[in-house]
Structure 1
Amino acid sequence: MEVLQTEDVRDFFEQAASLLVAKEACNNLGLGILNRMMEKGSAAQGSAQPYLGLVKEAGKPVYVFLQTPPHNLILPDIDTSRPEIFSLIARHLYHQGIHFPGVVGPVEAVRPFGAKWEQLTGKKAEVEMKQLIYRLDEVNPLETEGGSLTLADEKEEALIKAWLVGFGKEAKVAMDEVRAGEMAKDFIASRSVYLWVVDGRPVSMANQSRKTKNGVTINAVYTPGAYKRNGYATALVAALSQKLLDDGNLFCSLYTDEANPTSNGIYQKIGYQVVGESIMYSFVKKSTLSC
């Protein structure tokens, strides 16, 4: 086996597509990023050049991986993977001097990679989050207390920014005022962020995110504390999911924190079904004891 790198996003996608699309919903993160780069160029993910890697055996790709600096390394869910592949990738990245804060992917990929990375770098792999990946093909019939799905526009930019900060705190993801402001502008410009509006008042938020060949991902689902426990997030995600299916997508997907029973219950009620698991490791320097 050998590990190769390419800077040509389209060439990488052509070689990687069949491996990734076999589990399209589970690989929505990598596929979505690749689609966005092909549509808007590599700069869509930042100024640094993405790292696009292929593991080949007898000249054919058996595994692929990617990283867009300064974000985590993405290890997709691919049936042809084996533990030795991840040790090989770790050694290759280490000798190439590639830096990343962590790694995300299925447990069977992340665990052997993390063990080898610890060995090579002396850093400690710490579990940051365990997630479930859901897929929905049909929305269950639901009764709601009223409200309507509304596309957010420029007048809601400050609201979206504030709610993204709140979302970051709840989801335990890095989200300062600057990043939230940039994301709010991008969401509104992309016409991707929706609100659930009751009696003229926005009460919940969700964003249409990554697009894959047959599906689309929903993220940034957030309801402020004052509006929780009214079924607003359920109504919003159900309505947005139905809209996205009506728009021609064959399925919707999303991630949840495995440890959050509320969000998992909401999505299962709507009709989302677990199709995969994902774990995120961060790599930190090991502490040393001083005398």
Structure 2
Amino acid sequence: MASDGWYLTDDVDRHLARAGEFLRSRPAQHTVHLTVTETLRSRGGRVYGDGAPEFGVLEGEGGGRAAFFRTPPHPLVVTSLSGEEADVLAGRLAGAGRSLSGVNSDRDTAAAFAAAWQRHTGADAVPGKRLRLYRLGELTVPRPVPPGRPRVAGEGDRKLLAQWHGEFSAATGETAVRDADDWADERVERGDLILWEAPDGTPVAMAGAAPKVAGQVRVVAVYTPAPLRGRGYAGAVTAEVSRVALAAGADEVLLFTDLANATSNGLYQRIGYRPVSDFAVYHFG
């Protein structure tokens, strides 16, 4: 362990051996860290992107008290830090010559780390998305339910899923670092993506679920093609994914929304999702 308390590694198993108990102590707030590291562990550390992953845990007498991971080119994802801890971490990474595209964390930590990164590197820090984490309370299926029915995406849907993956990435401003066909293959193999199909069998919306870790499941990839929006499909398919997660034994069902999208924030609250905390992304020049 370094004198600043941060233990860094590129081995996900070593990281989880040190940080796992801390991450599982607050599964909702640490949902991204838990699901990404579990996915990497299941792939044997293989990632899709520009470089190898890196992990860190801040250790004290009582064990881990903070952690981060980064999978280039994505921003650094870090758990809550004090202003001093954010400054120490920024200095450690800058001093080691790390190049960061940004930071993603709870609102206060993200702001503190962005300011610290500017001090240590001189790089610009541009505010990006503001996100809100929601937890499902009592599930309420939105009414009226649109015509059609839900079904699990299967072999015959791979081409459509790949197409929608690209459209979803573009619509949300996310950097698509993995091949769309690979993404579709993985979803079909895991059986964790649900389509809403019209009465004639045409898929009109999708929503997926991240793997269950520490009792929590996060709803992901909620997408309706632009010409089909406003008809209740997103609400119906999100409610179904949420129902399936609960039926499979999830203790918590979570999702993130972009705070700039008032429509989606209102929709998820009508389904039964309640705010947990706010997060922010900063991009570094």
After TM superposition, the score normalised by the length of structure 1 is 0.89
Answer whether contact 1:218 1:252 (CA < 8 A) is retained.
Answer: yes
Deviation at 1:239, TM superposition (A): 1.0
C-alpha deviations, 1:218-276, integer Å up to 9, x for none? 11111112221111110110011101110111121111100101111111111111111
**2:61 is aligned with 1:36:** no
Amino acid at match of 1:4: Y
Instruction: Tell me whether 1:23 sits opposite 2:34 in the alignment.
Output: no
Give the C-alpha shift of residue 213 in structure 1: 1.1
Q: Which moved more, 1:135-144 or 1:38-47?
A: 38-47
1:224 and 1:7 mapped to 2: Cα distance?
38
User: What is the aligned-residue RMSD (CA, Å)?
Assistant: 2.0
Change (3 A) 1:4 1:12: same
Residues 1:244 and 2:245 aligned together = yes
C-alpha displacement of 1:44: 4.3
Counterpart of 2:230? 229
Q: How does 1:56-135 map to 2 (within 5 A)?
A: 56-58=59-61, 60-77=63-80, 81-135=81-135
Going from structure 1 to structure 2, the CA distance change for 1:216 and 1:108 (only over 3 Å counts) comes to same
Distance 1:213 1:60, change over 3 A: closer
- 1:137: how far off? 4.2
What do the CA deviations read for 1:144-167 (whole angstroms, capped 9, x no partner)? Answer: 133211111232222112222222
Greater shift after overlay, 183-192 or 115-124? Answer: 183-192
- Higher mean alpha-carbon deviation, 259-268 vs 20-29, is at 20-29
Once the two structures are overlaid, the 10-residue window that deviates more, 271-280 or 51-60, is: 51-60
Residue aligned with 2:46, SS:
helix
1:204 is aligned to 205
What CA distance in whole angstroms lies between the structure 2 residues aligned with 1:165 and 1:11? Answer: 33
Deviations 1:109-136 (A, max 9, x none): 1111111111221210111211001111
**Distance in 1 (alpha carbons) for counterparts of 2:195 and 2:141:** 20
User: 2:137 touches 2:274 (CA, 8 Å); kept in 1?
Assistant: no
- Deviation of 1:8 after TM superposition, in Å, equals 3.8
Greater alpha carbon shift after TM alignment, 108-117 vs 161-170? 161-170
Gaps of 5+ in 1: 285-291
Which structure 2 segments of 5+ residues have no match? none
2: CA distance between counterparts of 1:32 and 1:183? 16
Q: How many residues align?
A: 280
Measured in 2, the distance between the counterparts of 1:254 and 1:59 equals 30
Does structure 2 conserve the Cα–Cα contact (< 8 Å) formed by 1:187 and 1:193? Answer: yes
Measured in 2, the distance between the counterparts of 1:47 and 1:114 equals 22
Q: Could you tell me how far 1:57 is from its partner in structure 2?
A: 3.3
> In the TM superposition, what is the alpha-carbon distance from 1:210 to its structure 2 partner?
4.1
The corresponding residue for 2:192 is: 192
